[in-house]
Structure 1
């Protein structure tokens, strides 16, 4: 054996379990039956022999790279893989030249671009000519929403296929395959096995990596319970990027469960966000928004409680201050709901923009000079506190617009009382002309 051979990889060298269990056919891919099953989108494309360029969108560990490799094999295309993290424009040009050379020899190229969203806009534009003329069949993989991260021009030339997080059943199938490969059962009791599946968070590669850690730690005849499992794997961090889609998905879920008056679900999503490391003051700001947008004057205390929770967190810090946020979330989730103020404000803004600088009636304008008094400023104004019921019923709207109805309080919470007052004032206004 020469030095080169000695330095090379030994075929018998141990490989990670996820690599050893990599599917060999599309049918073996776990958890993506909507794509790879008998009637899956990819299966139908392969039947018609018209693959086209594709964008694979989904969480880590769902099989995007594996499926791309299998597609190249199914279509007899040369497989080229690059990562947007390590590839520059010069590298792209080399790959494109090689693909053109192959094409002249009668063979196409499937170019798999991992983390394609990491390319900037001009780099993404570099793919357009080679995609359009068929030099490459592009398969891009991204964990981020393509609508936000990819050029519209590139998206229009590719079909987006969504990869789903693996459910518990698919992850369990992977563990069964792993046990067959290792020829040894996973040394976990039933509860610990279920906990390991949950820790994987829908990631097939993660569940196999976690299983490997368990096998390495187990002594002869040893079986771990849930506490023992937690000691071994030290718990995998949740998949959550504060700058990306997971962040927006969870805050959207929190807001909508509050709006839907489901305190238990709201508390769960709050816990998810705090557990993943979200900035508590970002959550506090959103709870204030919920108080003014979805509760409004149905419970004026909601805004007070939300602001107090923010102040309490500022004062206490973590973890004690997180309970103040939990209290606020429970308060707004269980408060009576009304978006009447929110709707009225939008109407008022639209009216103001539409009608421009319309003069208020002179009756309610101040008259600091004799000229202004002579012009009728302040003339005929009635001081409401001197009127019966402390209500004059005057028309305060600009004559060019006329009286409008913007705020329509609901029959819930404190707004029920506000509605009664407004109906009484409307009655008096009508009586007094």
Structure 2
């Protein structure tokens, strides 16, 4: 059975408890009644922001709300229906099957014939498969529904291109500490009493919510029910409440966001930021072996020959972790993070490698010049294999300066070392051999 919420059902939107019913949760009681009451999300709701412009022009398009839990996706969708006089229907992709979708579309079709549009809000829309997502398209195109989807996952990866092309993606952000304080004040007004917390404990409560407004209201509801003789300190609050687990999906978008932050902090030579993101990933449950592998990649890609020791440091830290395990071995990886962040940086080797791959693809199967080919048979000698090869150890300075690229290719410059770290010395060697090569080949 689908998890359907149809605003046409009696009492569906009022949320009022009947006789003998349980009291409404604080989060439900504080649900905004207008878009102006929504806390946060000015980047989509402001007068010059996408939704503000759509509403002022009277032209609302299908939307995809992308953002973390508890930032107002469902609330904004419901209020959009209210602002535009559309019938609001809510479903969850987790509980909705094809028969349920058919009933939703049929209901929307009948309403449209009677002169009323339907705003269909689909929570966790990314959980629908490709065929199910395609099923929305004809009903969006003929105006039967105005689709508003909500997802915590990156729509670029999780939603069909056809669905995305017919919708506008709006990014909803986690609530700031200022937003959470405003929400706390609104809750205190509804409760008609202040929370029994000292200022530092109040700050800690906001941090526990981790940008999730719904989570904050649930925490406030717990705190407001306590009977205490004096306001609680941060430590007293921590003994009564468990900190909300940080949002982190080891296979999802947050995983890639955090490893990107770690990599760029290392590349930016910021050991403090690099350690922070490293710790964030560990706290989220990331496999330290994955981090060890990525650190080694950073050493190869961003430090490389500017500090040849960096790769060895990473491999030694990785081996130390394998021998010690967690949590002791994680310190070795943390020290590798610091070393990489403070090491001189170069991507010259990485760029040279990519340039070499491009050149190899462009030149296809061009053979090496014959003078550097071995001639183990008489026929190969007759074909000129090995003829004219100069043995470098017999040449002046141990360098013959011969051409080793295929005949007909203009000599490229692939490796261009920088003036940092050990690559400064390598640059001098490159320039020395380039000058000698010109001399050996009869240049100026």
Structure 1 length as normaliser, TM-score?
0.95
1:410 & 1:294 partners in 2: Cα distance?
12
Counterparts of 1:313-352 in structure 2, within 5 Å, are 313-352=321-360
The one of 75, 80, 91 equivalent to 2:84 is: 75
Task: Classify 1:317/1:9 alpha carbon distance in 2 versus 1 (closer, same or farther; 3 Å).
Answer: farther
1:233 and 2:233 aligned: no
The offset of 1:183, in angstroms, is 1.7
2:173 — aligned with what? Answer: 164
**Match in the other structure for 1:287:** 295
Residues 249-260 of structure 1 aligned to structure 2 (within 5 Å): 249-260=257-268
Using the alignment, how far apart are the partners of 1:426 and 1:44 within structure 2? 61
Summarize the alignment of residues 179-218 of structure 1 with structure 2, pairs less than 5 Å apart: 179-216=188-225, 218=226
Aligned to 2:36: 27
* Aligned match for 2:387, one of 375, 379, 394: 379
Q: Deviations over 1:78-124 (max 9, x none)?
A: 11110000001110000111111111222111111101111011000
Give aligned pairs, total: 425
Q: 1:56 aligns with which of 65, 70, 90?
A: 65
Structure 1 partner of 2:305 = 297
Give the SS at the match of 1:337. coil
Q: Kindly indicate whether the alpha-carbon contact (under 8 Å) linking 1:27 and 1:37 is maintained by their aligned counterparts in 2.
A: no
- Answer yes or no: is 1:94 the counterpart of 2:103: yes
Q: How many Å separate the matches in 2 of 1:203 and 1:152?
A: 29
Q: Unmatched 5+ residue regions in structure 2?
A: 1-16
Q: Distance in 2 between matches of 1:382 and 1:351?
A: 26
For residue 124 of structure 1, the aligned residue among 125, 133, 137 is: 133
1:412 aligns with 2:420: yes
Is 1:428 aligned with 2:421?
A: no
Partner deviation per Cα, 1:238-273 (whole Å, 9 max, x = no partner) = 011111111111111111111111111111111111
Q: Work out whether 1:398 is the aligned partner of 2:369.
A: no
The equivalent residue for 1:361 is 369
CA contact (8 A) 1:32 1:164 kept: yes
Matched with 1:17 is: 26
Deviation at 1:34, TM superposition (A): 2.6
SS in structure 2 opposite 1:175? helix
Distance across 1 between alignment mates of 2:242 and 2:380: 78
Aligned with 1:174 (options 183, 189, 192)? 183
Measured on the aligned residues, the alpha-carbon RMSD in Å equals: 1.6
Alpha-carbon distance in 2 for matches of 1:346, 1:41: 40
Q: Deviations over 1:363-417 (max 9, x none)?
A: 2211111222232222232222233322222222221214221111111111111
Q: For residue 304 of structure 1, report the CA deviation from its aligned partner.
A: 0.8
Matches of 2:54 and 2:20, distance apart in 1:
35
Q: Does 1:224 align with 2:232?
A: yes
CA deviation after TM superposition for structure 1 residue 9, in Å: 4.8
Q: Give the C-alpha shift of residue 38 in structure 1.
A: 4.0
Give the equivalent residue in structure 1 for 2:164. Answer: 155
In structure 1, how many angstroms separate the alpha carbons of the residues matched to 2:270 and 2:328? 24
| Counterpart Cα distance in 2 of 1:11 and 1:366 | 95
Displacement after TM superposition at 1:230 (Å): 1.8
TM norm structure 2: 0.92
Q: Is the 8 A contact 1:23 1:66 kept in 2?
A: yes
Which residue in 2 is equivalent to 1:4? Answer: none
